[in-house]
Amino acid sequence: MKIAADFSKRVVVHSESLEWLASPMKGVERRPLDRVGSEVARATTIVRYAPGSAFSSHVHTGGEEFLVLDGVFQDEHGDFPTGSYIRNPPESSHTPSSQDGCIMLVKLWQFQPEDRTHIRLQTLKMGSVKLRSQLGVSITPLYKDHIEEVSILELESNASIKLDTPQGAELLIIEGSLQEQNDRLIKHSWLRLPIKSRIEGVAGDQGARIWLKTGHLSDVDKQIEHLKNT
């Protein structure tokens, strides 16, 4: 299966307009953003757990990265409420569930194969730093390695953001809105920019809270090849 699989193109998905699709587990539904592969895939997805739903225990051979957008996600490692940012590296395992239900941004098979670093952060409790070069814009760093960088951006009302993304980027609007080129991105809108791109946006009257990932699209071919060879 291929969804938005041409990584040389700019892609915008307003995920709130998509229908929920059933997963193999009852009560767990998905809105695919991009995907290369069948049930085991390099994928970026909005996932919804109904109250009381669960997945059986499984290993993430290619790693799993997620941000809890609403509700509380749970596994044997703890409870992860809205704002939790988690990186479960390759070969990690867990038994996911949600007693009260939750919605998450989930990314699979997008790690370096040798990565074994677990990350568990609560972004709503972390301090941000104002960007000196851009008025009204603050950043909360979440993760960085030699390939990629992940952060939360906070834009005040009508603040503008200009950012070169030579190795590509993805962003998801968590709250508020952003006008980027000809697209008005609202809550849970997702934008993927190819290599040698630039983000140029202006926040709406309510500002914007944005999950941002840069650098990783230089490694897409290796990720897909690793998936095929596993």
pLDDT single digits (tens) 54-101:
988 889 999 999 999 999 999 999 999 999 999 999 999 999 999 999
- Distance CA(55)–CA(36), nearest Å, equals 22
The whole-number pLDDT of residue 35 equals 96
Q: Are residues 73 and 105 in the same domain?
A: yes
Residue indicated by tokens 């603050």: 138
- Domain assignment present for 116: yes
Among 14-18, 131-135, 205-209, 214-218, whose mean pLDDT is lowest?
A: 131-135
Q: Is 2 among the domain residues?
A: no
Contact 122, 84 (CB under 8 A): yes
What is the per-residue pLDDT across 154-168, written as a single tens digit (0 to 9) for each? 999 999 999 999 999
Report the domain count for the chain. 2
Work out the average pLDDT over 113-142. Answer: 94
Asked if 75 contacts 109 with a C-beta cutoff of 8 angstroms, the reply is: no
Percent of the chain with pLDDT over 70: 100
Other Cβ atoms closer than 10 A to 72:
17
In one-letter notation, the amino acid at residue 186 is: I
DSSP class per residue in 188-201: TEEEEE-SSEEEEE
Q: pLDDT tens digit string along 177-223?
A: 999 999 999 999 999 999 999 999 999 999 999 999 999 999 888 88
Q: How far apart are the first and last CA of the chain?
A: 17
Average pLDDT across the chain, whole number: 95
Domain boundary among 122, 138, 168: 122
Together in a domain, 45 and 117: yes
Which helix or strand (DSSP H or E) is residue 9 part of?
none
- CATH number of the domain to which 206 belongs: 2.60.120.10
With bands split at pLDDT 50, 70 and 90, how would you rate the model's confidence at 39? confident
Residue 224 within any structural domain of the chain? no
Does 104 fall in a domain? yes
Domain final residue, candidates 68, 91, 122 = 122
Q: How far apart are CA 191 and CA 14, in angstroms?
A: 9
Do 24 and 112 have their domain in common? Answer: yes
Q: Which of 76, 98, 122 is the last residue of a domain?
A: 122
Same domain, 152 and 201: yes
Domain-located, residue 52: yes
| Domain co-membership, 88 together with 44 | yes
1: amino acid identity, one letter: M
Report the candidate in 35, 31, 25, 26 with the shortest Cα–Cα distance to residue 2.
Answer: 35
- pLDDT bracket for residue 40 (50, 70, 90): confident
Contact present, 108 and 64 (Cβ < 8 Å): yes
207 and 118, same domain (yes or no): no
- Rounded to whole angstroms, the Cα distance separating 102 from 50 reads 7
pLDDT at 141: 97
**Residue 158 structural domain:** 123-218
Residues 22 and 77 in one domain: yes
What pLDDT shows up at residue 72? 98
Q: Is residue 230 part of a domain?
A: no
CB of 118 closer than 8 Å to CB of 167? no
Which residues, in sequence order, are CB contacts of 133 under 8 Å at separation 6+? none
